[in-house]
Chains A and B, each alone.
Chain A
């Protein structure tokens, strides 16, 4: 076993995802405590330039046409081979669409313990202590992975990205695993329908969630948004139900926004949503559940009925 840390970087559309830098920054700190190296691992094709943007102690860039777009099977084979070869003490994935396909798989495949949804990592007396959110963000669990090596998947936004940005030269290698006969075949990327507003560019957003109750109530939220000069955003249940287009979804599988105003109606604040809006300048949340996690993140909150408040605001604004 080594004291090295492998950080599995992610990219989409030729752009390195911030989570990669966030993990590299943290990995450096942990590797230093262990006297090992933080090794960024980039898998792709024609991504040599982007592979040189990490502040890691070393960077491996595995170039293969089969790795051009994320493919859980191909990526899995490469990561497993690298783990075999490097015997790292820790493998870090993002708790993302990419990392969630790989971390738990690797844990079983290589018999390494796994901690998911990690938002803090420290080394205490040489031991790794991972703090993870569980039960929908309502609890924080402190875990100590047993044995020589572990896998973690890290929440986006848990660590600063800047600490991981740099210019360490990447060592380009061929795939250490056979990438033929894949059972998972990438077919195409499907981009969201254009034409809708880009909510990431809006200064003011009125965001609606499950608490809105039914599709008919969206009209009220829309009126309020218009009166405020804002656009409508939504949490996942709303776009899943087809009440608003997918382009309006904020959070993990939606977009990340940093507006000047984020007025939330009936959103309880699941971690997946918080990920996409916690850096908004002014967050006001209206939710009847006084214990909703959103009140730990919002700047201002109210537990009144959202419809009453929205109507009262509309009246006052007229």
Chain B
């Protein structure tokens, strides 16, 4: 391939070489001319690396450290290293199904000596694919719903605060409060609309109320953070939502923002800051509550005698280094026994929901032997856990479905908020 040759430094080799009268002919000579060593064509690698943000794709030197830690590789035949190798052999990542399998969990970047950053490469390539119209149908529907309704569940924007009607404690909405608050609670789409997400939101409301937190939510003025849509390639949608949310954040006076979900945490703390200069104090709820453990502990009156294991959310753990706050909360619950799975903390497994995976379930299923969530549930069950505790709103429904589909109905999936609430109220599991 001529185009390829241009880019490769040709190496020449002589069959016969006599230097200073000494015959040094032989196969060990690599420094002279005569034979061309062909390199694989780098075109498809360069095509990826040419995108802003995706430059590191070409740095890969095929050491393969990323493959065994890739959660998708564990249930399929996908690995970051393989993308580079496939590109060498003519697979165009822009139109390959591989493009949609990465959950941006970041475990590969953790071990990569060359810092080949899939968390940046994937959104860059996907953005181009989205513009070119190569989008899996189910993901496109999530984009459309988010664009139309402000949330990927396709629920009415006007009903975003409808869950508060189910709350037995007041849930103040900023628009009605008309005064500054200490804490702005960004609830998030799944806690606002998904039935199991609402359970966690209701628990959070009770905990905040019991702690006497002066807080408010945005209600109908809140829209999805858009970060997972960005990671799935819809940058414009992300920007549109960011502009909306930031204008709402700035409309009211508050000191600290608390978010229910790690993806929102990443969105506001990192992406909104870097791209839009939104720079305000933000905490994930586990951090916020862990900071108030002294006030919280006396409220945790009832035993929750359960064997609990914790699944580190990728976007709280690896992406932001927070491993201790959720564990501190779980350990504060009387009677609760916390056990760790093999894949925890820095090497925590992925639920499959990140980077757009939340809306690619059927697509991914066709490329894996089991769902990532199923793999994780099997691990939790193998460790004898009665409860798989989570701290990300994507995970409850994913793991509950997985518990059912793998025949592990005995394994309960609960948000840490729900466990705290159980201990606070004495509601039995």
Contact = CB atoms under 8 A, between A and B. Distances in A.
A contacts B directly (C-beta below 8 A): yes
Interface of A: 213-214, 216, 305
B362 A214 contact: yes
Contacts of A216: 362
A305 B195 contact: yes
B195 A214 contact: no
Contacts of B137: 214
Interface in B22-60: none
A213 B141 CA distance: 9
Contacts of B362: 214, 216
Nearest to B359: A214
7 contacts: A213-B141, A214-B137, A214-B138, A214-B141, A214-B362, A216-B362, A305-B195
Nearest to B141: A214
Contacts of A305: 195
Interface in B338-395: 362
Contacts of A213: 141
A115 to B, nearest CB: 30
Contacts of B141: 213-214
Task: State the majority secondary structure of interface residues on B.
Answer: helix
Interface in B307-341: none
A214 B141 CA distance: 9
Contacts of A214: 137-138, 141, 362
A238 B195 CA distance: 25
Nearest to A217: B362
Contacts of B138: 214
A28 B137 CA distance: 52
Interface string B121-136: 0000000000000000
A305 B198 CA distance: 14
B366 to A, nearest CB: 11
A246 to B, nearest CB: 20
A177 B141 CA distance: 50
A129 to B, nearest CB: 33
Interface in B126-160: 137-138, 141
Nearest to B404: A311
A237 B138 CA distance: 16
A214 B195 CA distance: 19
B216 to A, nearest CB: 27
A213 B362 CA distance: 12
Nearest to A305: B195
B45 to A, nearest CB: 35
B182 to A, nearest CB: 34
A219 to B, nearest CB: 11
A305 B401 CA distance: 14
B364 to A, nearest CB: 12
Interface in B209-234: none
Nearest to B153: A213
B198 to A, nearest CB: 12
A214 B144 CA distance: 13
* 7 tightest A-B CB contacts, nearest first: A216-B362, A214-B138, A305-B195, A214-B362, A214-B141, A214-B137, A213-B141
B135 to A, nearest CB: 14
B333 to A, nearest CB: 29
A305 B362 CA distance: 20
A305 B155 CA distance: 13
B27 to A, nearest CB: 58
A216 B360 CA distance: 12
B421 to A, nearest CB: 22
A216 B137 CA distance: 12
A241 to B, nearest CB: 9
A305 B397 CA distance: 13
B141 to A, nearest CB: 7
Nearest to B159: A289
A214 B138 CA distance: 7
A213 B137 CA distance: 11
A216 B141 CA distance: 13
A216 B359 CA distance: 13
A305 B141 CA distance: 19
A216 B136 CA distance: 14
Contacts of B195: 305
A307 B195 CA distance: 12
B361 to A, nearest CB: 8
Interface in B87-139: 137-138
A150 B141 CA distance: 44
A304 to B, nearest CB: 9
A225 to B, nearest CB: 21
Nearest to A211: B154
A289 to B, nearest CB: 8
Nearest to A210: B154
Nearest to B156: A289
A238 to B, nearest CB: 14
A253 B141 CA distance: 25
Nearest to A216: B362
Nearest to B138: A214
A216 B366 CA distance: 12
Interface in B164-202: 195
Nearest to A308: B195
A213 B195 CA distance: 16
A83 B195 CA distance: 58
A167 B244 CA distance: 66
Nearest to B155: A288
A113 B362 CA distance: 52
